[in-house]
Structure 1
Amino acid sequence: MLFKEDFLHFIWKFRLYNPKALQSQPWGHLQIIKTGFSHHHAGPDFIEAKIRIEETIWVGHVEIHLKSSDWMLHQHQHDTAYDNVILHVVYENDQPIYRKNGSEIPVIALKGMFDEAIWSNYSALISATHYFPCEMQLRQVDPMIVNGFLTRQLIERLEIKTTVILQQLEVYKGDWERTFYYFLAKSFGFKVNSLPFELLASSLNVHLLKKYHNQPLQIEALVFGQAGFLNADFEGGYPQQLKTEYEFLKMKHQLLPLDESLWKFLRMRPHNFPTIRLAQFSALFLRTPNLFSKLLEVDAFSEYYALFQQLPVHTYWENHFHFHKTTKKVNHQIGKASIESILINTICLFLYVYGKYTDQQRYVDRAFDLLSYLPAEKNALVEKYKLAGIQLESAFLSQAVLQLNKNYCSQKKCLNCSIGIKILKK
């Protein structure tokens, strides 16, 4: 039977063996008082375990292998981190193992000690050809267990992103406004153009833009010029005004524009063209140059939407998608779905991070409340989990599902997932 070590970890952690039949070789009857805590760093697999062998109580670490000889194969005999191992848990005991001082490490062999149908169930689960392993069994799991684990996934997702933001905050020497502007720009690029928007934010300091906060032509010239869209020849009008102004500002502030080729237009709807997003980004800054400070003052959920609605986008973009061709009159405002994406991926995140960083719980709570208020994202992955039985009515849960899929389902880590564990134990 081709077990994996993580499966034996599962059997050990949840005591899915016959405790009455446990025998430690060579000392006799064994009682497990505490299995210990999973240890995911270098060293033994479980730490702070507590066992009784005959009349003696042992406290220390537990190491798990398929075969006891794997101890030697993994070179543990040369590692002092394993000196405090009190029990070696294996599937097959094929070789006695000794500590550096010559004493033999007690061992228990789990072969025949648990219902091996559990392995069959697990094998069937991870080998299923569904979108995710438990797609067909998910409805069998208590919704409280599902939602509890999803809440943990959301917090884990926020904490991972928090680390990235705090690293950038350190780069910007504690400047929250500049850090927020940097990540807001990335969100305006969505998936396709997030990198060039990120590079734009890096090359165009928000504090330089603030010097021109009440001058639309200068703001738009800086944004489009730095993005690389003003290198072409224009026949007068608004584009030529932008180019003339940018040439002056570029010399004045010693700016180096991006290469226009970085921006992606192919297979995109015109409303999502980077030129339109840049026009909206310029307008957002024109209306609210201190957006980070503003979002900390907002109370009503509708006000978060209002921050991105009815922006003063230049009228040129009412009948243009880029600089070289006119089109029918279009709505050049940010759509509701795009606003919600920005709220989910930037606004909620910064409320959470800032609240944690400054120890102001009201911002953390506001982040969770806003995520619970916003509708769930609409994409193929979220839809699969909805069809499998999870009630995904808010962004709180859809964000959690994205993290669940990334960290567990796509890697088939069912043995580490509360939902998968419930299915297997059942």
Structure 2
Amino acid sequence: MIKEDFLHFVWQHQYFNSKALRTTAGESVAVIKPGVVNQLAGPDFKEALVDVNGIQWAGSVEIHIKSSDWKAHKHQGDPNYSNVVLHLVYFNDYQVCDNEGKPIPTVELKGLIKPGLLNRYQQIIKSNNPIACAELFPKVRSVTKLAMLEAALIQRLQRKGALFKELLVRNKQDWEQSVYEWLAQGFGFKTNAQSMLALAQAVPLRVLRKHSDLKQWEALLFGASGLLNTRHTSSYAYELKREYTFLERKYAINSQLSFNQWHFSGVRPTNFPTVRIAQWAALVHKNHSLFSLFTDFSNTRELQKRLQVQQSTYWQQHFNFGVENKQGNDLLSKSAISNLMINTVAPLLVAYSEYKDETDMLEQAMNVLMSLPVENNHIIRSWYELGWNVNSGFDTQGLIELYNEYCKHNNCLKCKIGVELIRS
């Protein structure tokens, strides 16, 4: 079983018998420059330079498993492929011609790839293990594992940071509003993240800051959330609803949220959206500058203490309107704070680092993750079984990305670990 990405790998690094290289028509081929990987539409490699029968050709190289894939992928007549000077395939089963009807020089790699390389690739790609390289993993050098771990972690943080930058663009570079929305999404965790974001957008931070009373903040947020639009016997819910009726008209709030958009079923009471909205409101109310809250701290312990905010009195004693918690609600739990540090704080620091084109905030993000405890899930347990020494949130976040973005999709040839094992 051969995949195109393996042929890309072979061509890019020239892992074949170049002395025996000939076209299917018997012409000699010498590779002067394999070209550069093309990430856009068009041929796989651009700016290549090859010698075919003593004549040098500059242009592109297109790679397929079978020659007939050229037709199957509808390259014929496509102007993007008009400058292909070499067609590289594993099986030659079809004569490919250019737009003028002239045969495009084609090289069949079957039998030319180094046997050891091909065998190691097939051993990994045919593995039934969720981590395809599991059997060969002990052979990987520590330096390679650490390099891939850091690369995967940075990729994960940058991907999440890009989501924050989308908010920043939407809010016309208003950092406070963007952080406010980003934090709201973080407080929604997985189950209510999108509803929390919609709530933050329905009730902008500037509206909340027109009031100093936390109760009015709760009236605005719970009113816009749609969670007051049910039959509540709670006197507190009635007070908030009455206050919201006035504030809704005053600020022309137009929220489309309803009770049905919030998830209570299957969620622990301490993670009910009502509790999270109250905690989020209390944290924002307490901090005049949200941006400074997450970017101006000396160490992670200091930031963790800042996040241990106490919600209002009513929500210290209730899970929902009229649903009393006799034991009382504690401060934001350690696991919830760790989740916010991982999914809210660290990506924000990376986004700001890229915005300022400075590395200080990137290092700060790394330090935050290094200070957090190890996560326990099936992915991390799989790496433990392979002997990976997992010490902190830095490791677990990198390993989760490595598994989800590389192992899960058999992207072994884009992984430093996979490449080392196949090359070795």
Q: Shared topology, TM-score over 0.5?
A: yes
Verify: 1:320 aligned to 2:326, yes or no: no
Partner in structure 1 of residue 11 of structure 2 = 12
- Amino acid of the structure 2 residue aligned with 1:402: I
1:9-408 superposed matches below 5 A: 9-26=8-25, 28-53=27-52, 55-101=54-100, 104-116=103-115, 118-212=117-211, 214-232=212-230, 237-256=235-254, 258-309=257-308, 311-408=309-406
CA contact (8 A) 2:140 2:421 kept: yes
| SS of residue matched to 1:191 | helix
How many residues align structurally? Answer: 423
Range moving further from structure 2, 186-195 or 393-402: 393-402
Looking at structure 2, the residues matched to 326 and 233 of structure 1 have their Cα atoms a distance apart, in angstroms, of 16
Q: State TM-score, norm by structure 1.
A: 0.90
CA contact (8 A) 2:37 2:46 kept: yes
- Amino acid of the structure 1 residue aligned with 2:342: I
Looking at structure 2, the residues matched to 180 and 298 of structure 1 have their Cα atoms a distance apart, in angstroms, of 16
- Amino acid of the structure 1 residue aligned with 2:290: L
Range moving further from structure 2, 414-423 or 236-245: 236-245
Please tell me the root mean square deviation across aligned C-alpha atoms, in Å. 2.5
Looking at structure 2, the residues matched to 98 and 320 of structure 1 have their Cα atoms a distance apart, in angstroms, of 74
Looking at structure 2, the residues matched to 196 and 390 of structure 1 have their Cα atoms a distance apart, in angstroms, of 37
Q: CA deviation at 1:184?
A: 0.7
Q: CA deviation at 1:234?
A: 5.0
Looking at structure 2, the residues matched to 236 and 52 of structure 1 have their Cα atoms a distance apart, in angstroms, of 83
**Distance change (3 Å), C-alpha of 1:397 and 1:48:** farther
Looking at structure 2, the residues matched to 63 and 192 of structure 1 have their Cα atoms a distance apart, in angstroms, of 44
Looking at structure 2, the residues matched to 337 and 208 of structure 1 have their Cα atoms a distance apart, in angstroms, of 31
Looking at structure 2, the residues matched to 301 and 11 of structure 1 have their Cα atoms a distance apart, in angstroms, of 45
Partner in structure 1 of residue 410 of structure 2 = 412
| SS of residue matched to 2:98 | coil
| SS of residue matched to 1:66 | strand
Looking at structure 2, the residues matched to 254 and 95 of structure 1 have their Cα atoms a distance apart, in angstroms, of 66
Q: CA deviation at 1:185?
A: 0.5
1:246-283 Cα offsets, whole Å, 9 max, x none, are 23322322334531222212122221122211221121
Q: CA deviation at 1:190?
A: 0.5
Looking at structure 1, the residues matched to 254 and 55 of structure 2 have their Cα atoms a distance apart, in angstroms, of 73
Identical aligned residues as a percent: 35
| SS of residue matched to 1:168 | helix
Range moving further from structure 2, 195-204 or 365-374: 365-374
Looking at structure 2, the residues matched to 269 and 15 of structure 1 have their Cα atoms a distance apart, in angstroms, of 56
- Amino acid of the structure 1 residue aligned with 2:47: E
Looking at structure 2, the residues matched to 393 and 33 of structure 1 have their Cα atoms a distance apart, in angstroms, of 46
- Amino acid of the structure 2 residue aligned with 1:396: F
- Amino acid of the structure 2 residue aligned with 1:30: V
| SS of residue matched to 1:108 | strand
CA contact (8 A) 2:269 2:319 kept: yes
1:123-171 Cα offsets, whole Å, 9 max, x none, are 4433433233223332321121122123222232233333332222222
CA contact (8 A) 2:158 2:347 kept: no
**Distance change (3 Å), C-alpha of 1:222 and 1:289:** farther
- Amino acid of the structure 1 residue aligned with 2:22: Q
CA contact (8 A) 2:168 2:178 kept: yes
CA contact (8 A) 1:276 1:332 kept: no
CA contact (8 A) 2:176 2:291 kept: yes
Looking at structure 1, the residues matched to 71 and 267 of structure 2 have their Cα atoms a distance apart, in angstroms, of 57
Q: Which runs of 5+ in 1 are unaligned?
A: none
Q: CA deviation at 1:77?
A: 3.6
Looking at structure 2, the residues matched to 94 and 283 of structure 1 have their Cα atoms a distance apart, in angstroms, of 68
Looking at structure 2, the residues matched to 331 and 379 of structure 1 have their Cα atoms a distance apart, in angstroms, of 26
1:204-260 Cα offsets, whole Å, 9 max, x none, are 111111111x31211122222222232345556544433332233223223345312
Q: CA deviation at 1:187?
A: 0.7
Q: State TM-score, norm by structure 2.
A: 0.90
Looking at structure 1, the residues matched to 251 and 81 of structure 2 have their Cα atoms a distance apart, in angstroms, of 60
